[in-house]
Amino acid sequence: MPKIKGSRPSFEASVSFKPSNQITTYATISTGYRAPYQNANVGYVSQVNPNDIAIPAGATSDKLTNYEVGAKGRFFNGPLNAAVSLYYITWNNIEVNANRVSDQIQFATNIGGARSRGIEFDLASNPNKLFSFGANGSYGGTEITKLTAEQASISGAVKGDRLSASKF
């Protein structure tokens, strides 16, 4: 049985700049990946349609690259803190559970790529020792950007569709 192997270095690099005593800006780039996944029924041929794909060895590591810029600060001599960030993420060789078309046998495999981008914010106020108020939120979008016809048929994914995540 063929083994799925994989390792990948992961890193993070950041720079920051403090234009004033109250405000800090930053930029970050980081990468990440998931370990590969081995399928149990490697090479299994469909009994319904022997011409359909044989179950592959598994899914190799996928890869994420995250780019983020932001600013945070303290205002009015400290009782108000605010932060905002923008992010852009690329995700390649996505690990997914797929179904063979002829008999719906599930297996792990990789499909194209996706991107995610958005904004996040955080506000916190401590007007005195008795009260604190806060609000935070985000708005983002994700979409599948790379996908072959075969990957679409076995995964159910559609190029241009959103990944399963809320916009807010």
* Count of the separate structural domains present in the chain: 1
Examine residue 163 and state whether it is found in any structural domain, yes or no: no
pTM of the predicted structure, to 2 decimals: 0.82
Q: Phi and psi (nearest 5°) for 119?
A: -135, 145
Examine residue 26 and state whether it is found in any structural domain, yes or no: yes
Examine residue 114 and state whether it is found in any structural domain, yes or no: yes
Examine residue 6 and state whether it is found in any structural domain, yes or no: no
Examine residue 3 and state whether it is found in any structural domain, yes or no: no
* The pLDDT of residue 141 is above 60: yes
* Residue linked to tokens 């994989």: 6
Ranges 38-47, 98-107, 156-165: which has the least confidence: 156-165
Long-range own/partner contacts, residues 16-23 (CB < 8 A, 24 or more apart): 20/73, 22/73, 22/74, 22/75, 23/71, 23/72, 23/73
> Which domain covers residue 56, as residue numbers?
12-155
* The pLDDT of residue 167 is above 80: no
Q: How confident is the model at residue 166 (pLDDT cuts 50, 70, 90)?
A: low
Neighbours of 19 (CB within 10 A): 10
* The pLDDT of residue 164 is above 80: no
Q: How confident is the model at residue 114 (pLDDT cuts 50, 70, 90)?
A: very high
Examine residue 87 and state whether it is found in any structural domain, yes or no: yes
pLDDT in tens, 89-109: 999 999 999 988 899 899 999
Instruction: Report pLDDT for 154.
Output: 86
Examine residue 55 and state whether it is found in any structural domain, yes or no: yes
Examine residue 83 and state whether it is found in any structural domain, yes or no: yes
Distance, CA of 12 to CA of 120 (rounded, Å): 20
